[in-house]
Structure 1
């Protein structure tokens, strides 16, 4: 029986490990942290009983029915709609920008058609092909909404001017000309009743899978296995030979209170003068539960250092050039496939992470049957 190493016990590693185990492989899962589920890790707060998303909130949403059905084997999803609020200029507004936001902000009572026509007058139509985040915002919502809701928040989140960020980042944020304040627009949305860590535990609950936490995997360990799926940082695997790829990390300031602290799950802070990007109140992520006390976290974004947990890949020009060097090294590394957010240095939502892991496992099994070469990447990182 061949032995496979899976480095990382997040969704990428867990899904791949399970599929290979079900097809007769013996799988060793290792993770440097003391817990499962990576940045999706959830745990009960011992003082409030609230299910806490330890590395920031994760709200599941997808249009991928295959992924939805897969996860529902391992958990019961409870209804949850992410309704984000934002504080800007001393007032509270609804996000994403919708008809209520527009009417509140401009003191109007527009109909959908009137609002659309009005925003067209605000937009900078001279920008025909937006290249940067700022150009994208100015082209589609205009200067006032951009500066109120996006500019300061983005500067805090990414640590640079929106003129340095690609337009594609803002394309994730819709503008709606109705009163729909559901932050996401996917068919399937919800929260796992017992949290995300419980899902990963069940996925890894297979007799052919063994798990070692608090375990560092080194490049020299690769030869001990028939193949390695590596979901850690691609630059770390090569001991940062060409330098460190850029990430943003988060610091969390804990806030505890009796009752209800802010009245919603997520409150963004768009003003640049407020040092944190948002406050999340985690009791709201489990609305089917009742708690007399609450726990919240103010999030501060900053550059990721060597000892920090990487969250968001920066992927600006300097990082893209360095990534190309690591990709070439990876292609020459025998017996290793790089997967997931860190292994491919890409921002991935949970559903995409799971879909790619399922596809990677399927392709591996198919290539093994054909005695064909296993690629370094199942999804191209560049």
Structure 2
């Protein structure tokens, strides 16, 4: 088949490579001047630091097949995401763990002592079936830890009160009663030595793949294609005829400095009177490199406008109802496969994005045969 893929991010690149290896002729277009989507990395000409242009990405997975796939195209270096949090003028370790708990309460408890302390003196045991983010937090860790580390950060990140967000958001965040401060618990964790953009370029490097950058999608692009893969916004494919799905976007305040600015890759700022959510220092995402200068980003979250880059799908009640309507339209659209974070309106980790792209290859081929 002649297949058009809209979007040269992870979904489009992986699907393009898999379909090309199956003998299909692939055309990939992307409106940006680079591949890799929001995973795009590039060297800062001023400092030499490898910068995660749209915010940091750490690859983590338990899927051995996905791990083997990405290692075909890049040399991954071991990396552990150890986040810090500046709360009330003190620096703590995240995720909330035994060290965080002992430091916050000024104690030296063992794991079972800390678990019993939180349950007896902090957790709100009157909450039996948490429905919101706030209820889940109060039941899990209590008012003190919630107010210090979760409430303000959540308000800034999502732009709404935590009692309006679903409890499932917090269920993805770990709370540990040991001293493990590795944010992720997956078997395989790392970052490509030369960045994600070089990796995606290698994935797309195939004689059956033709890539066109700086090329926004227009209907004429699909005229010669026998099938289309759409990794752009789901509502955008239908020209927003039912309305726009809600997203949060990010603004970055970039600055450089001599030496080491904050001593870690990610510092959260959960205090409500600090306008940014976190500061990322990019040279710490490549600890195998040495640089005399440094590049940092202050991150600010806000509602996503029509011309902004969508980052996080909101998926509250109104968005879920609109999503169902768009999913119904997509199901009735022949010859198009919707994939990825934007094409399915879900927050997806990179490994899940790749897994779904690999699985979609077989579905496209089977649909064509049928």
1:246 alignment partner in structure 2: 246
CA contact (8 A) 1:219 1:238 kept: no
Q: Distance in 2 between matches of 1:177 and 1:330?
A: 45
Report the alpha carbon displacement of residue 341 of structure 1 after superposing the two structures with TM.
0.4
Structure 2: give runs of 5+ residues left out of the alignment: none
Partners of 2:365 and 2:50 lie apart in 1 by 37
Partner of residue 376, structure 1: none
How far residue 333 of structure 1 moved from its aligned partner, in angstroms, is 1.6
Q: Structure 2 CA distance, aligned partners of 1:192 and 1:116?
A: 37
1:141 aligned partner: 141
2:24 is aligned to 25
C-alpha distance in 2, partners of 1:46/1:221?
35
TM-score normalised per structure 1: 0.95
Please report how far the alpha carbon of residue 219 of structure 1 lies from its aligned counterpart in structure 2 after TM superposition.
4.3
State the 1:128 CA deviation.
1.3
Shift of 1:79: 1.1
Q: Distance in 2 between matches of 1:111 and 1:222?
A: 62
Tell me the alpha carbon deviations over residues 227-269 of structure 1, each in whole angstroms, 9 at most, x when there is no partner: 0000000111111101111000000001210000000000000
Q: Which residue of 2 aligns with 1:86?
A: 85
The match for 1:109 is: 108
Q: Distance in 2 between matches of 1:303 and 1:224?
A: 37
Map of 2:358 onto structure 1 = 358
Alignment length (residue pairs)? 369
Length-normalised TM-score, structure 2: 0.98
Using the alignment, how far apart are the partners of 1:281 and 1:96 within structure 2?
18
Aligned counterpart, 1:67: 66
Give deviations 1:274-325, integer Å, cap 9, x for gaps: 0000000000000000000000000000000011000000011111111111
For residues 39 and 231 of structure 1, what CA distance do their matches in structure 2 show? 12
Match of 2:42 in 1: 43
CA shift, 1:223, in A, is 3.5
Q: Which residue of 1 aligns with 2:198?
A: 198
Q: Distance in 1 between matches of 2:128 and 2:202?
A: 50
**1:365 Cα deviation after fit:** 2.0
Q: 1:8, 1:113 → 2: CA distance?
A: 49
